[in-house]
C-alpha cells in the first residue's frame, strides 16, 4: 500500500494556503499521493472550544508575522485578506462540489484564493463556480442519494 497524505484545508486559512503551495512537491518527492479533504476550520474551533489566533491580539500579530516568514521561505506570494476572518461555509461547499464533479478543476479553484477578496455570500460562491467555467449541468452539485 502506497503512502498517502490527507490534507484537511479551509480556503479561509492562511496556513492552509501555505501548505497547499508546498504539499504537492513534498508528496511527489516522497512518492506519496495527496488527498484533499475540505473542512470548516471555524467548526473545528467551535467543537474544541478553541478560537482563531487572530482573536488574541498578541498571538494574532505573531501569527501574521510567522505566515509572512513562511511565505518568504517558500518563495510564494502571501497577501493577508483584509476581511479576515471570513465565513467560508459556502466556499467550502463549492470546493466539495468541485472535488466531486470536476476534480481536474480543483487546483484552479483553490488557486483563486491566493487573492483576497470579500467572500461572504452564497451568490459569490456560485459566481466562483461560473467564473471557473464549470458546466452548468453539473452546478450546483447534487448530494446524491441519501441512505435511510
Q: Are 116 and 79 in contact (CB under 8 A)?
A: yes
Task: Report the pLDDT value the prediction gives residue 143, as an integer from 0 to 100.
Answer: 39
DSSP string, 77-143: -----TT-S---HHHHHHHHHHHHH-GGGHHHHHHGGGS------HHHHHHHHHHTT--GGG-SPP-
Task: Report the pLDDT value the prediction gives residue 110, as an integer from 0 to 100.
Answer: 84
| Phi, psi values for residue 131, rounded to 5° | -60, -35
**Domains of the chain in sequence order:** 3-138 (3.40.30.10)
The tens-digit pLDDT sequence of the chain (148 residues) is: 689 999 999 988 889 999 999 999 999 999 999 999 999 998 898 899 988 888 888 888 888 899 999 999 999 988 877 777 778 888 888 889 999 999 898 888 888 776 654 444 445 555 555 544 554 444 444 433 334 3
Burial class (CB in 10 A: 0-12, 13-18, 19+), 28: exposed
| Element at 49 (helix H, strand E) | none
Task: Report the pLDDT value the prediction gives residue 112, as an integer from 0 to 100.
Answer: 76
- The predicted model scores a pTM of 0.74
User: 10 in helix, strand or coil?
Assistant: coil
Task: Report the pLDDT value the prediction gives residue 129, as an integer from 0 to 100.
Answer: 53
Q: Are 95 and 10 in contact (CB under 8 A)?
A: no
Task: Report the pLDDT value the prediction gives residue 128, as an integer from 0 to 100.
Answer: 57
Task: Report the pLDDT value the prediction gives residue 131, as an integer from 0 to 100.
Answer: 45
Task: Report the pLDDT value the prediction gives residue 89, as an integer from 0 to 100.
Answer: 87
Amino acid at each position: 500500500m502506497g503512502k498517502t497524505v490527507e490534507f484537511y484545508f479551509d480556503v479561509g486559512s492562511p496556513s492552509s494556503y501555505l501548505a497547499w503551495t508546498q504539499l504537492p512537491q513534498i508528496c511527489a518527492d516522497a512518492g506519496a499521493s495527496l488527498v484533499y479533504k475540505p473542512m470548516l476550520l471555524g467548526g473545528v474551533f467551535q467543537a474544541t472550544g478553541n478560537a482563531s489566533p487572530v482573536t488574541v491580539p498578541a498571538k494574532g500579530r505573531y501569527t501574521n508575522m510567522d505566515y509572512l516568514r513562511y511565505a518568504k521561505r517558500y518563495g510564494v506570494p502571501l497577501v493577508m485578506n483584509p476581511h479576515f476572518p471570513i465565513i467560508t461555509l459556502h466556499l467550502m461547499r463549492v470546493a466539495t462540489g468541485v472535488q466531486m464533479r470536476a476534480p481536474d478543476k480543483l487546483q484552479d479553484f483553490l488557486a483563486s484564493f491566493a487573492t483576497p477578496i470579500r467572500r461572504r455570500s452564497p451568490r459569490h460562491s456560485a459566481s466562483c463556480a461560473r467564473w471557473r467555467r464549470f458546466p452548468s449541468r453539473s452546478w450546483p452539485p447534487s448530494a446524491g442519494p441519501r441512505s435511510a
